[in-house]
Amino acid sequence: MDREGETALARAVLAGEPLAFERFVEHFRSKVFHYSWLMCGRPEDAEEVAQETLLNAFEHFDGLREPERVRSWIFRIAKNACLMQRRKSVFAPAHELSVEDLPPGAEPAGEDRPPDAEYLRAELRAVLDRVIVELPPIYRAVVLLRDIEELSTEETAQILDLNTDVVKTRLHRGRQALRQKLDCYLNNHCLEDQPSPNPTPLGAEEREQLYSVWRKGLAVTAQ
């Protein structure tokens, strides 16, 4: 679904359309699961983050003042939920690097086309996931939002609470690392092929929880 489709979907959810609710949950649960799996490291964590993200989103859906920004709004919530989940494990980095910590030559990149966009084809998506998950978390977060979720540099900066120069620098370094690892896979097959996990079907209890929070939020807004 493109950005225009997501905008129309968000407006329909705000209007209280039940079918829109179902489509919204299906669409964004899958996207948040994939993002959270790559950032948090385990499918079980990703399931929890996806549910928590949607609960938080529906609880505060009336705060979505700009439906055209629903994708970045959802991923900001997901980022915060993922950070909370990561604090429970050893997966989180010891600290966040600044621009000054980066090695020489790590100049901020411009708005160029992702150099490895051709590898986003379905047959190589699992390989790309394996490569991304091996990136340092500070680069992984930027690559996921900019190149996988196709958010702008400004949106990515807002979600990650960074300035745009830091985002450009980390994106540049992350893309360099991606290219090297993908070249290694294609030329030497140095990564094992493993399928990426998919979220389990949404259970009746979890769905009812989401629906209840959404309806409650609509009732409050209507008052």
Mean pLDDT by 10-residue block, N- to C-terminus, for the chain (223 residues)?
Answer: 95 95 96 91 88 95 92 95 72 40 43 52 70 89 93 96 95 91 74 77 95 90 67
**For residue 127, what pLDDT is reported?**
78
CA dist 220 and 56 (Å) reads: 15
Number of domains in the chain: 1
Helices (H), ranges, the chain: 3-14, 18-40, 43-59, 70-86, 125-133, 137-143, 153-160, 164-188, 204-222
DSSP assignment letter at 104: T
CA dist 165 and 24 (Å) reads: 33
Please state the separation of Cα 31 from the chain's center in Å.
7
**For residue 59, what pLDDT is reported?**
93
Residue type, 132: I
**For residue 63, what pLDDT is reported?**
86
Look at residues 67, 72, 78, 65 and name the one whose alpha carbon lies nearest to residue 30.
Answer: 78
**For residue 78, what pLDDT is reported?**
95
CA dist 222 and 55 (Å) reads: 19
**For residue 5, what pLDDT is reported?**
96
Please state the separation of Cα 166 from the chain's center in Å.
18
Q: Are the C-beta atoms of residues 128 and 119 closer than 8 Å to each other?
A: yes
CA dist 77 and 103 (Å) reads: 31
**What is the residue range of 82's domain?**
3-92+101-196+203-222
